[in-house]
Amino acid sequence: MRISSSLLFQTGLNSINAQQSDLMHLFQQIGSGRRMVTPADDPLGASQAINIRQSQTLNARYAENRNVANINLGTEENTLNTVTLLMQDIKTRLVEAGNGTMSDADRKTLATVLKDARTNMLNLANATDGNGQYLFSGSKGATAAFSDAGEYLGDNAQRLIQVDQTRQMESSDVGSDVFARATPGITTYVTAAGTVFGQAAANAGTGIISTASVYDASQTNPNYSFQLQFENADAADPASPVVYRIVVLDGDGNTVEYDSAELGFGWEDTHSYDPDGENLIKMPFGVQVKMSGAPQAGDTFSVESAASTNMNIFNTLDSVIAALDTPHAANPAAQAHFQNVLASAIQRIDINYDNVLTVRSSIGARMNELEALDANGALRDLAYRQQISSLEDLDYYTATTQLELRKSALEGATLAFRKIQSISLFAIGSGR
């Protein structure tokens, strides 16, 4: 191999450049604190860091979503806290309305108070969040949840927020689930005078129905409702004693035929009624009720499962307000109608109140879950930071050692080049 002067010079120069490049790379690492100045430094580590950063970004996005959900749930909780206080006041007013010493004028005054309470309740049901979206209208955030008549205008779609990789959470509750239903799984029954609670036509008699109770929970069917239909024992004789029959209806309003050996009667039988005493009416499917007063032929009373009945609180308030506004001081039938409407309203408001408390408990549980998810998210973020640090951060002890080593190597390469540069052809020739 022929070694020329240009080869010697080029070799020395390349050695110096290589050492300078390595030294410059170390300066960049120490100056930035990063082990990988470019992906070429560690291709596998660079790809792993990209994946971890993506997971870290998603984790931060979930944390922001949890913050939004927490704000929405906090707004709803504050609203329902006010609803709870308002319902407590309404319950107090309804009990006050049962005071038999009140005059028609007193009841009208109380009706005005309940009208104001209804207006406040409607405003709370149509409350909005900080962004102008209605809280209780489902996915129809731009639509008020309830009309002035108390009709639900929203839908049943939940507003879901992705609060974690595998968890979507309801950030609010549907208005019909808050203000127009009973707590899921409830076995309570509600009573009313007339086929439908709040109907315009009142019974003609003075019959009063009490709160229903369950005497055999194993037989109850929440899809069934009951009607007590009063008629004359002899249809051709209006003066004949009033009797009643028990009609069972399914969810579609169809008659359910029954024949209970335990009760000793079937669905077509009629039963005697004592207008001067208290009548315990034991119905099929484990439900019983007490009645007093003197119903007339054609009067009806309903016993419905709260779980399958529309429990719209605005309809309930409308009915009791109308009853309070109607004078009945000298009308026994009107007094009985008022007592039945009031008793039904108290039953329903109690169920609405319990349901609102259940919804608030659900909100608290979701907020607790968000807190736990935040804690887990913080731990994951810490783990991601540690993984990225192990891949990208520079080990300063190793880097400074390498820096000193590269300095020495550069100095050696420089001295070697100087030595080569000082060599002269004439000096070489004279030394022969």
List, for residues 112-171, the tens digit of each pLDDT value. 999 999 999 999 999 998 788 999 999 998 999 999 999 999 999 989 999 998 899 999
For residue 396, what pLDDT is reported?
A: 63
Q: Which pLDDT value is given to residue 270? A: 93
Please report the pLDDT score of residue 391 as a whole number.
73
List helix spans (H) across 98-207: 104-125, 175-179
Rounded CA-CA distance 417/423 in Å is 10
Please, what is the Cα angle at 400 between 397 and 404, to 5 degrees? Answer: 140
Looking at residue 202, its pLDDT comes to: 73
Residues 205-229 have pLDDT tens digits of: 999 999 999 999 888 998 999 999 9
For residue 230, give Cα distances in angstroms to 209, 245, 250, 256: 13, 7, 20, 18
Helix spans in 98-219 (H): 104-125, 175-179
In the predicted model, residues of the chain with pLDDT beneath 50 are: 196-200, 426-432
- Which residue ranges make up each domain of the chain? 184-309
CA distance 92 to 210: 19
The predicted structure's pLDDT at residue 430: 46
Q: Compute the CA torsion angle 59, 64, 66, 67 (nearest 10 deg).
A: 150
Cut 0.75: pTM above it = yes
Cβ pair 343, 74 in contact under 8 A: no
Q: What is the pLDDT of residue 189?
A: 94
Confidence (pLDDT) at 198 = 41
